[in-house]
A = this chain, B = another copy of it.
Amino acid sequence: MTESRLDAGVTLWLTGLPSSGKTTIATAVVRQVTARGYRTEHLDGDEVRTYLTADLGYSRADRDANVRRIGYVAHLLSRNGVVVVCSLVSPYRAARDELRRLHGGRFVEAWVSTPVEVCARRDVKGLYARQRAGEMAGLTGVDDPYEEPLAPDLVLPAHTQTEEESVAAVLTLLDRPAP
């Protein structure tokens, strides 16, 4: 079978530190894929909280439940032909690997690999500043772990790539058939 990942339905899972650029890339990918006529959903960690994950905090168990829950929804959508773009810190390798198994092929893990120094300078939501000021604890990459993917399908160094380059790399991969 030679249909592309976009034709078959797929979950694009963007993992990386806070302020690494996940949401920016996700939004641009969704715009382009939608413009090409595909059914597309963007599940963003912050946005699905109201309905899906309002009860969850930032412990390891809660972060894992968050990834599992959103990943399950992505699985249901992608197996029905939808192109699903998920942008979540999703710091733990085991939880991401579990999702890959659940998806049985329709899964692309893209690591937005912006280093923590650059993320802390960008600090889109002010989290790094609040952590430095002692107003919060458990910030991924600073005082909470981030387990880098060992075999991602794609690495997106958003600190040395333009947004256009990141998006082009994603679309090149999604235009290919699943291996």
A115 interfacial contact with B, CB 8 Å: no
Tallying the copies of this chain within the complex gives 2
In the complex, what residues of B have CB within 8 A of residue A76's CB? 41, 73, 77
10 A-B pairs (CB sep. < 8 Å): A39-B81, A41-B80, A52-B72, A52-B73, A55-B55, A73-B73, A73-B76, A77-B80, A80-B80, A80-B81
Is B41 a contact of A69 with CB atoms below 8 Å?
A: no
* CB proximity of A33 to chain B, nearest CB, Å: 13
A65 interfacial contact with B, CB 8 Å: yes
Task: Output the nearest chain B residue to A82 by Cβ-Cβ distance.
Answer: B80
Given A76-B77, A80-B41, answer yes or no on A55-B65 (Cβ-Cβ < 8 Å): yes
* Distance A80 CA – B82 CA, assembled complex (angstroms): 7
In the complex, what residues of B have CB within 8 A of residue A72's CB? 51-52
* CB proximity of A60 to chain B, nearest CB, Å: 15
* CB proximity of A22 to chain B, nearest CB, Å: 20
A68 interfacial contact with B, CB 8 Å: yes
A59-83 CB mask vs B (1 if < 8 Å, else 0) is 0000001001101110011001110
**Which A109-146 residues have a C-beta within 8 angstroms of B?**
none
* Distance A154 CA – B39 CA, assembled complex (angstroms): 30
Is B80 a contact of A51 with CB atoms below 8 Å?
A: no
Contact among B41, B69, B82 with A52 in the assembled complex (CB-CB below 8 Å): B69
Task: Output the nearest chain B residue to A74 by Cβ-Cβ distance.
Answer: B76
User: Which residue, A54, A76, A77, has most C-beta atoms of chain B within 10 A?
Assistant: A76
Is A51 a contact of B69 with CB atoms below 8 Å?
A: yes
* Distance A55 CA – B68 CA, assembled complex (angstroms): 12
* CB proximity of A58 to chain B, nearest CB, Å: 16
